[in-house]
A = this chain, B = another copy of it.
């Protein structure tokens, strides 16, 4: 469904969110340990999140990654996915036609569009805050 990079990116964003809740910055090392991902690869993905203004990075000593607490509720999963995997999951044809187009639809277009809309809706209506709280409460997990 999502690329490995995107899975790591989502989990990293959620973990950063849980720590930013308490005003803590986190390192790629801490992140990769917490979400069980390769450190250097995760660092690359974090850069993409920074470039897309979803996460703030602070260089130098005592630096790290953080998310503005006031933005935790407004940052949606869709933005994280879009920053890493792009928008093909929303816009691309399910059977790989050059573009998804109702006037030249593939065989599964009508049905696929409906499923995709459900996914889009889910991603656009799920905030990092919500996911971070689920982790903090112990209702959900980031690894294993």
Of the candidates A1, A10, A11, A126, the one having the most CB atoms from chain B within 10 angstroms of its own CB is A1
Q: Which residues of B contact A143 (CB under 8 A)?
A: 97
B residues in contact with A139, CB < 8 Å? 105
User: In the bound complex, what is the Cα–Cα distance between A143 and B126 (angstroms)?
Assistant: 35
Residue of B nearest to A105 (CB): B140
Q: Give a binary string over A86-122; 1 marks a CB under 8 Å from any B CB, 0 the rest.
A: 0001001011111000001111110110110011001
For this chain, the copies found in one complex come to 2
Interface size on A, residues (CB 8 A): 39
- Judge whether A14 is part of the interface by a CB distance below 8 angstroms: yes
A41 at the binding interface (Cβ < 8 Å): no
**Is A108 a contact partner of B95 (Cβ separation < 8 A)?**
no
Footprint of B on A, CB under 8 Å? 1-2, 4, 7-8, 10-11, 14, 77, 89, 92, 94-98, 104-109, 111-112, 114-115, 118-119, 122, 126, 131, 134-135, 139-144
